[in-house]
Amino acid sequence: MRLATLITATGPRLHVRADDGGYVDLGEAAGDERLAQFGSFVAAGPAAVEAARGLLRRAGRNFAPWEFAPAVPAPERILCLGLN
């Protein structure tokens, strides 16, 4: 299962990649707007994952490459590692 945050007319929203290669808006299709944001999706746990799996067979919409947002829109921290 592949998740992506995509820029829509209502702002960035979490989508799942459907079997047809398009993307389905999780919040809209599942009827639970909490699933439209990555942080809320993760907090919802296994129930959110099952809801996303149930949407894989739906017809998805294709998006242009510039409509993809950062995978994790608001990370709590950023870790960097460097070697010399």
Rounded to two decimals, the pTM is 0.82
pLDDT surpassing 80 at residue 84: no
User: Span 39-63, mean pLDDT?
Assistant: 90
Q: Distance of alpha carbon 74 from its chain centroid, rounded?
A: 13
Contact 6, 15 (CB under 8 A): yes
Q: Which residue has the tokens 């944001």?
A: 37
User: Span 37-66, mean pLDDT?
Assistant: 90
Q: Is the CA virtual torsion 3, 38, 40, 76 positive or negative? A: positive
Task: Say which residue, 39 or 84, is predicted with more confidence.
Answer: 39
pLDDT surpassing 90 at residue 74: no
**β strands within the chain, DSSP E:** 3-8, 11-17, 23-25
User: What helix, strand, coil percent values describe the chain, rounded to 5?
Assistant: 30, 20, 45
